[in-house]
Amino acid sequence: MVQPGDGCGPLRTCADRTAKPLAQQVFERIRSLGRVSRSDVARDLGVSPGSVTSAVTTLMEAGLVREIPRAARDTATVRGRPPVDLSVVADARHVLGLNLRDGLISAVVTDFNGQVLADAERPVQTGARLLDAVLTDIAHLVDRMLGPLGMASGDLAAVGIGLPGFIDHDGGAVLWSPILRDRKVALGPVLATRLGMPVYLDNDVNLLALAELWFGMGRDLSSFAVVTIEHGVGMGLILDTALYRGARGMGLEIGHTTVQLDGALCRCGQRGCLEAYVADYALVREASTALEWDLQTARPTEQTLEILYAQAKAGNEAARLIFERAGRYLSLGLANVIRVFDPELLLISGARLRYDLLYAEEVLSDMHRFSDRIGRGRTDVAINTWGDTVWARGGAALALSAVTDAVLAHPATDLPARDRRTG
Q: Quick one: 330 exposed, middle or buried, by C-beta within 10 A (0-12, 13-18, 19+)?
A: buried
CB 190 within 8 A of CB 172: no
H runs (alpha helix) in 274-316: 275-278, 280-290, 301-313
In the sheet with 104-111, reading across from the earlier edge strand, the strands are 116-123, 104-111, 94-101, 158-163, 199-203
Region 407-418: mean pLDDT is 59
**HSE of 227, CA atoms in CB hemisphere, 13 A:** 29
Looking at residue 393, the DSSP 8-state letter turns out to be: H
Q: What residue spans in the chain does CATH classification 1.10.10.10 cover?
A: 17-90
Topology of domain 17-90, CATH: Arc Repressor Mutant, subunit A (1.10.10)
- For the chain, give the mean pLDDT: 87
Residue environment code for 127-162, b if the CB has 16+ CB neighbours within 10 A, otherwise e:
eebebeebeebbeebbeebbeeeebeeeebbbbbbb
User: Measured at the alpha carbon of residue 52, what is the angle toward residues 50 and 55, in degrees to the nearest 5?
Assistant: 110
Q: How do residues 328-377 score in pLDDT, each as one tens digit? A: 898 989 999 998 899 999 998 876 667 777 777 888 888 888 778 887 78
Looking at residue 412, the DSSP 8-state letter turns out to be: G
Beta partners for 271?
A: 265
CB 109 within 8 A of CB 96: yes
Q: Coil, helix or strand for 265?
A: strand
At residue 411, the pLDDT reads 47
DSSP H or E segment with residue 394 = helix 389-408
Q: Does the pLDDT value for residue 25 go beyond 50? A: yes
Q: Which residue has the higher pLDDT, 192 or 16?
A: 192
Q: 265: closest CA among 282, 286, 290?
A: 282
Q: Which residue has the higher pLDDT, 395 or 412?
A: 395
Largest CA-CA distance found in the chain, in angstroms, rounded: 82
Distance CA 22, CA 32 (A): 15
Per CATH, the architecture of 222-343+351-384 is what? 2-Layer Sandwich (3.30)
Region 80-86: mean pLDDT is 79
Q: Quick one: 26 exposed, middle or buried, by C-beta within 10 A (0-12, 13-18, 19+)?
A: buried
Which residues touch 284 (CB under 8 Å, ≥6 apart)?
301, 304, 305, 308
Q: Coil, helix or strand for 336?
A: helix
User: Around Cβ 175, how many Cβ atoms within 10 Å?
Assistant: 14
Region 289-311: mean pLDDT is 78
Q: Which residue has the higher pLDDT, 70 or 85?
A: 85
State how beta strands 199-203 and 242-244 pair: unpaired
Per CATH, the architecture of 92-209+388-414 is what? 2-Layer Sandwich (3.30)
At residue 75, the pLDDT reads 52
Q: How do residues 187-217 score in pLDDT, each as one tens digit? A: 999 999 999 999 999 999 999 999 999 999 9
Q: What residue spans in the chain does CATH classification 3.30.420.40 cover?
A: 92-209+388-414, 222-343+351-384
Beta partners for 162?
A: 99, 202
Distance CA 310, CA 320 (A): 10
Distance CA 253, CA 146 (A): 35
**HSE of 330, CA atoms in CB hemisphere, 13 A:** 32
Please give, one letter per residue, the 3-state secondary structure of 87-153: EECHHHCEEEEEEEECCEEEEEEEECCCCEEEEEEEECCCCCECHHHHHHHHHHHHHHHHHHHCCCH
Region 382-386: mean pLDDT is 77
Q: How do residues 110-134 score in pLDDT, each as one tens digit? A: 999 999 999 999 999 988 999 999 9
Show contacts of 115-120: CB within 8 Å, 24+ apart: 115/8, 115/90, 116/389, 116/393, 116/396, 117/149, 118/145, 118/146, 118/148, 118/149, 119/145, 119/389, 119/392, 120/144, 120/145
Q: Does the pLDDT value for residue 414 go beyond 70? A: no
